[in-house]
């Protein structure tokens, strides 16, 4: 596995690839099975696979956890090498942004709802860095986990709207047997919080069951029940909504092609999850 840290090194490696197909998995490191599943899928569908590790400062707000975001580069490197990754791109902020960035990617449709409402400017940072990574790696296909569902929808829309020559693929959330979605931020949870955390997925699953069985299809009623259930389980709910899966537009009735999305705090840790209907 080749490791590069600069844009120039990455360009030289990419130029040498010729016409080979390239799968790309962008990450912020502290890798887990969710990331590894994307790597394995890329390796099965492409001639070469590249992974980036970059904790992007522009998607963190001033009171968020940039400084304490978990990092373990050596463990990540060993795991990626064992998986047969061809290239690891690990830039620093200076390589990514130079002396500063004045031009940003802004989505005017679905950027200010859900996580975007709670984290102003977050998706501007996400979309801008992903576009820069796409421009540098020039991938054939790019792989994203659907745990960050809104992020996936926005990146896919960016690729469509800006005519980017990359296929953006979303893959199912990888979970523990308890149902808890794998996340680097799970490392923040105490033992007691880890035991309580699967209630987030269970609540979404029960909302889906009620909708599928026609026991209750009104979005307002489903989300009201879900909020009460999460609060009784010790969560502080940021949002709990049911929206159209493709566009994230509002829905009054839950049915096919919907997705339930939630963000909630356990202690100081903000967890997100979703479940497609």
Query: Both 31 and 67 in a single domain?
Result: yes
pLDDT of residue 219: 98
Query: Both 140 and 68 in a single domain?
Result: yes
Which position among 35, 191, 212, 224 bears the catalytic label?
A: 35
Q: What angle do CA 98, 104, 106 make, to 5 degrees?
A: 160
Query: Both 155 and 36 in a single domain?
Result: yes
pLDDT of residue 63: 86
The CATH number assigned to the domain holding 58 equals 3.40.50.620
pLDDT of residue 100: 86
Among 123, 139, 171, the domain-final residue is: 171
Residue 25 near residue 42 (C-beta atoms within 8 A): yes
Helix residue spans in 52-148 (DSSP H): 73-82, 93-97, 115-118, 122-137
The one-digit pLDDT tens for each residue of the chain (277 residues) are 999 999 999 999 999 999 999 999 999 999 999 999 999 999 999 999 999 999 999 999 988 999 999 999 999 999 999 999 999 999 999 999 999 889 999 999 888 999 999 999 999 999 999 999 999 999 999 999 999 999 999 999 999 999 999 999 999 999 999 999 999 999 999 999 999 999 999 999 999 999 999 999 999 999 999 999 999 999 999 999 999 999 999 999 998 899 999 999 999 999 999 999 9
What is the maximal distance between C-alpha atoms in the chain?
Answer: 58
Among 116, 144, 171, the domain-final residue is: 171
Instruction: Report the first-to-last Cα separation within the chain, whole angstroms.
Output: 39
* DSSP bridge partners of 147: none
Query: Both 242 and 131 in a single domain?
Result: no
pLDDT of residue 23: 98
| β-pairing verdict for 167-171 and 236-244 | unpaired
Tell me, yes or no, whether 277 lies in a domain: no
Active site residue 35: yes
Domain of 138 in residue numbering reads as: 2-171
- Sorted by sequence, the CB contacts under 8 Å of residue 106 that are 6+ apart come out as 124, 127
Specify the number of domains making up the chain. Answer: 2
């Amino acid at each position: 596995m080749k490791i590069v840290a600069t844009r120039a090194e990455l360009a030289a490696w990419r130029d040498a690839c010729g016409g080979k197909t390239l799968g790309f998995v962008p990450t912020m490191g502290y890798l887990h099975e969710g990331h590894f599943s994307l790597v394995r899928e890329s390796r099965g569908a492409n001639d070469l696979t590249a992974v980036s590790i970059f904790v992007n400062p522009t998607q963190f707000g001033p009171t968020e956890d940039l400084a304490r975001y978990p990092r373990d580069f050596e463990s990540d490197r060993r795991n990626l090498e064992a998986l047969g990754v061809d290239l690891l791109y690990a830039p620093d902020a200076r390589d990514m942004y130079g002396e500063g960035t004045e031009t940003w990617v802004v989505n005017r449709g679905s950027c200010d709802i859900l996580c975007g409402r709670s984290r102003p400017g977050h998706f501007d940072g996400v979309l801008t860095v992903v576009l820069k990574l796409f421009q540098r790696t020039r991938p054939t296909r790019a792989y994203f986990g659907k745990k960050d569902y809104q992020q996936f929808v926005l990146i896919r829309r960016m690729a469509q709207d800006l005519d980017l020559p990359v296929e953006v693929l979303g893959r199912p959330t990888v979970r523990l047997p308890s149902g808890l979605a794998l996340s680097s931020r799970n490392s923040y949870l105490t033992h007691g919080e880890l035991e309580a955390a699967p209630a987030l997925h269970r609540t979404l699953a029960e909302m889906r069951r009620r909708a599928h069985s026609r026991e209750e299809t009104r979005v307002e009623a489903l989300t009201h029940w879900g909020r009460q259930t999460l609060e009784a389980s010790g969560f502080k709910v940021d949002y709990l909504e049911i929206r159209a899966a493709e566009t994230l537009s509002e829905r009054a009735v839950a049915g096919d092609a919907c997705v339930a999305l939630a963000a909630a705090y356990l202690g100081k840790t903000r967890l997100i999850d979703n479940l497609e209907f």
